Structures are given as structure tokens and as C-alpha cells.
Amino acid sequence: MEYKEITGRPVYAYMAEVCASGGYWISMAADHIAANRMTMTGSIGVVWSFIDYSGLFDNLGLRTVTVDSGEHKSIGAMGTEITPNQVAVIQSMVDEYIDVFVEFIADGRNMNPQTVRSIADGRVYTARQAYDLGLIDEINGWDVVLSDFETLTGVSAFYPNLMADTSFWGMLAKVTSGSFSRSEVDIAMNAIDAFPRGVPLAIMPEYMG
């Protein structure tokens, strides 16, 4: 959202295979969401799970000794039972996080929050189901989506050469993969900032893995 505000550029999202839960959350910054017909998306929800080993520890004759500063400080400690009060504490956090998730979707998709909540039961949706529910805008392949983007914006997208280590885009590839130096990051970010406003940058989904 900050990028759009600073540059004035539209942001389009393309879902290639799986774009669910956190992936769908991120796509709420997009002005238009397209998905491959085999995409799985949605999974609107929050989960926080623990394994209760207390029964196993009892069978093995083991016990956990935990010294903490409060009743809920050691929630999830191995070998301790998850109490109803602790479940309630975790549930209150999950409820707050799902409220934020629903708010993001309602704002990003211009949907009624109650409508969003009615479909936010954690399930994943096919592209067709997501389209029918208003969660995405288009079902198409990458080539068609990119062509439509170029038609709507009136400019031609270009591809960085992510495989050339000696190029600027090679440095950008390092940035996305984590194998970079601070100076390379600065060079890459400064170059991106210098791009003419309104020039789209298309990065193939298979390069984003």
C-alpha cells in the first residue's frame, strides 16, 4: 500500500498455484487479482496449535517441572496439560487476529465484513469458487493476464534477467534469495526507485519461489 501511495502505480496480483492464508492476505494490497484456474486460495483464518504430551509423559513416568511467573507463562510447555483457561487465552488472540484479517479483506475487496466473515471458516477455495465469492477478479493464465495488464495500462511490461549475476537484476535476485551484501541491496533499491513512474515490472511466478 505504501508503494502504491508513493509511486502512483497500480499493483496486480497473479496467483499461480497456491496463494492462501498469508498469501491471500498480502494480495489485498492489489488493485486486481487474477488466478490460474488450478489455483487454491482463501484459507481465511488463524490457527495456533500445540501438542499435549502430558498423557505420553504419564505413561513413561516422566514429569515436567516448570518455574514461571504466572499461570499462562508456560502455555504449551512440553509435558504439561493445556488447561481450559489457557485455551481461552489463546482463543482470544486468535479471535483478534481473525478480526484484523477480515477487516483487511473487507477493505481490499470492498466487501461487507459480515459477508467476509461468513466465508472465513479456514477452508481453501478453487479459483472458480473464489471468483464466485468475490475474492478474486479474474481466472486466466499468466500470458493472458499479462497481456490484459499491458492493454489496460497502455505500456509494455518487461522481464528482469534474474539469472544474470553480473546484471542489476542478478543483484535483485540475490536480494530476494537472501544471498546479498548491504551495498548490493542499496544499489538495487536505488535503481528501482529511479524507474520512471508508471512502468510495470513483470516477474514470472516461477521466479518467485
Q: pLDDT digit string (tens) for 4-53? A: 888 787 888 999 889 999 999 999 999 999 999 999 999 999 998 888 88
Examine residue 184 and state whether it is found in any structural domain, yes or no.
Answer: yes
Examine residue 41 and state whether it is found in any structural domain, yes or no.
Answer: no
> Which residues are CB-contacts of 157 (< 8 A; sequence separation ≥ 6)?
146, 149, 150, 200, 201, 202
Cα(209)–Cα(205) distance, integer angstroms: 7
pLDDT in tens, 143-184: 898 888 888 777 676 655 444 444 555 555 555 555 556 565
pLDDT in tens, 44-78: 999 988 888 888 888 988 888 888 888 888 888 88
Question: Which domain range does residue 73 map to?
Answer: 54-91
Examine residue 201 and state whether it is found in any structural domain, yes or no.
Answer: yes
Instruction: Report how many domains make up the chain.
Output: 2
Mean pLDDT, residues 176-202: 57
pLDDT in tens, 69-114: 888 888 888 878 888 998 999 999 999 999 999 999 999 999 999 9
Examine residue 47 and state whether it is found in any structural domain, yes or no.
Answer: no
pLDDT score at 38: 94
Q: Which of 73, 118, 156, 181 is catalytic?
A: 73
Out of 38, 67, 91, a domain closes at 91
Residue 40's φ and ψ, nearest 5 degrees, are -110, 125
Examine residue 203 and state whether it is found in any structural domain, yes or no.
Answer: yes
Please indicate whether residue 174 is annotated as part of the active site. no
Examine residue 178 and state whether it is found in any structural domain, yes or no.
Answer: yes
pLDDT score at 111: 96
SS3 letters across the chain: CHHHHHHCCCCEEEECCEEECHHHHHHCCCCEEEECCCCEEECCCCCCCCCCCHHHHHHHCCCCCCCCCCCCCCCCCCCCCCCHHHHHHHHHHHHHHHHHHHHHHHHHHCCCHHHHHHHCCCCEEEHHHHHHHCCCCEECCHHHHHHHHHHHHCCCCECCCCCCCCCHHHHHHHHHHCCCCHHHHHHHHHHHHCCCCCCCECCCHHHCC
Cα(100)–Cα(50) distance, integer angstroms: 23
Count of all residues that appear for the chain in the document: 209
Examine residue 133 and state whether it is found in any structural domain, yes or no.
Answer: no
Considering the chain, what is the average pLDDT of its residues? Answer: 81
Please indicate whether residue 21 is annotated as part of the active site. yes
Cα(130)–Cα(105) distance, integer angstroms: 13
Examine residue 24 and state whether it is found in any structural domain, yes or no.
Answer: no
pLDDT score at 110: 95
Q: Which residue has the higher pLDDT, 206 or 36?
A: 36
Out of 40, 69, 91, a domain closes at 91
Mean pLDDT, residues 115-125: 95
